């Protein structure tokens, strides 16, 4: 092949690569900004999560989407995809990092692998009560943790209440710390969650949320832990008939935004999203208390036995876990949280 032919071949390959890249970028941009029939340009932001559509946290995200549409006059649209349609929480977080997905609602526990400081929320009995919990989240520590994801490509938008996690089981109930020993319990994708169960002598078993019903049904695990609305809307109460309200952890949900997509939004669009998110938090806090009471009443009516074990016994049994973090970054965060009045 002569030199001229090689040159033409090289130019052809370069042009082909550039065209392919342009088409790819065009597809990505089209996914975020479309032109409506009236000629107006509209920004579309996709938000993924793993919860059922009947869950109060899903209702909060729909409220946020509605308020963004109202505030922007339709210029910004948030499309909410529930039930893990866009992937598991870790998968969605990775998509958000890459800019392939605009937003995800995730548990702070799933963020541990991306933002190590989030692990502090996995410490048992970290918060004294509801007031202490929200003072921390709405204060300097909460804002600091939301911002901690920016170096890895995620912008923390807001926190949602996800209540307290308590044990539910298929066989005998968990009434004391000793009842956890040698029991296989599903845990969140979190080292802290695994360590807590191991501290109590149990067998921590990570299972994706969408696969847990079958795992309980087929005795792959003896039980799991979660808040009352999640226990109810997941229908896990149909197979796990014992619910022990030990309330060992209170791990918030949060909505995170892709940092590159956030930075690409106009200042006005970011203001609309921030306002809608803040309003959705207020909406969700009120709804959460209502739905928690409704969920407990519903599962009890369905035949689930609800227990109120001695929380102090569980706090004492898990105290070594907290002590093991003394002198570490997580231990310092825990100390600061304990000092919030």
pLDDT of 41 reads 80
pLDDT of 189 reads 86
CATH number of the domain residue 169 falls in: 3.40.190.170
Residue keyed to tokens 């929380």: 311
Across the chain, which has 341 residues, the per-10-residue mean pLDDT values are 44 41 36 49 95 94 98 97 95 96 96 96 96 97 97 97 97 97 94 96 95 97 97 97 98 97 97 98 96 97 98 97 95 97 94
Tell me: do 209 and 328 sit in the same domain. yes
Tell me: do 171 and 101 sit in the same domain. no
- C-alpha dist (Å) from residue 2 to 11, 14, 89, 298: 15, 19, 54, 80
Tell me: do 130 and 61 sit in the same domain. yes
Tell me: do 186 and 104 sit in the same domain. no
pLDDT of 34 reads 53
C-beta separation of 278 from 255 below 8 A = no
Residue 239 lies in a domain: yes
Contacts of 213 (CB under 8 A, 6+ apart): 234, 235, 236, 238, 239
Q: Which domain holds residue 300?
A: 165-251+295-338
Measured distance CA(57)–CA(54) in Å, rounded: 9
Tell me: do 183 and 306 sit in the same domain. yes
C-beta separation of 41 from 35 below 8 A = yes
Q: How many distinct structural domains can be found in the chain?
A: 2
Q: How many CA atoms lie within 13 A of 71 on its CB side?
A: 21
- C-alpha dist (Å) from residue 131 to 127, 185, 199, 205: 9, 30, 28, 32
Tell me: do 223 and 330 sit in the same domain. yes
Tell me: do 81 and 138 sit in the same domain. yes
Tell me: do 229 and 263 sit in the same domain. no
The secondary structure element, H or E, covering residue 32 is helix 3-32
């Amino acid at each position: 092949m002569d030199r001229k032919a090689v040159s033409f071949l090289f130019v052809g390959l370069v042009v082909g690569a550039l065209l392919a890249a342009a088409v790819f970028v065009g597809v990505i941009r089209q996914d975020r900004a479309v032109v409506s029939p009236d000629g107006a340009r509209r920004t579309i932001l996709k938000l993924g999560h793993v919860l059922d559509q009947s869950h109060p946290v899903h209702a909060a995200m729909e409220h946020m989407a509605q308020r963004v549409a109202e505030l922007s006059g339709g210029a910004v649209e948030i499309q909410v995809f529930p039930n893990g349609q866009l992937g598991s929480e870790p998968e969605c977080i990775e998509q958000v990092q890459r800019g392939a997905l605009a937003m995800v609602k995730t548990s702070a526990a799933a963020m541990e692998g991306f933002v190590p400081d989030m692990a502090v929320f996995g410490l048992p009995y970290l918060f004294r009560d509801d007031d202490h919990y929200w003072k921390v989240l709405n204060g300097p520590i909460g804002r600091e943790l939301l911002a901690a994801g920016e170096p890895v490509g995620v912008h923390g938008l807001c926190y949602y209440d996800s209540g307290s996690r308590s044990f539910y089981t298929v066989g005998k109930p968990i009434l004391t710390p000793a009842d956890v020993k040698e029991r296989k319990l599903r845990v969140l994708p979190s080292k802290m969650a695994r360590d807590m169960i191991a501290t109590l002598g149990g067998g921590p078993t990570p299972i994706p949320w969408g696969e847990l019903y079958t795992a309980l049904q087929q005795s792959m695990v003896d039980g799991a832990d979660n808040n009352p609305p999640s226990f109810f809307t997941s229908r896990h109460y149909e197979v796990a008939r014992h619910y022990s309200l030990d309330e060992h952890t209170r791990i918030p949900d949060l909505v995170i935004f892709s940092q590159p997509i956030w930075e690409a939004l106009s200042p006005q669009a970011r203001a609309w999203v921030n306002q809608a998110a803040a309003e959705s938090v207020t909406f969700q806090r009120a709804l959460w208390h209502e739905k928690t009471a409704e969920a407990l009443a519903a599962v009890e009516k369905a035949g689930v036995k609800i227990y109120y074990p001695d929380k102090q016994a569980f706090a004492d049994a898990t105290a070594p876990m907290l002590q093991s973090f003394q002198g570490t970054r997580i231990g310092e965060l825990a100390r600061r949280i304990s000092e919030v009045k």
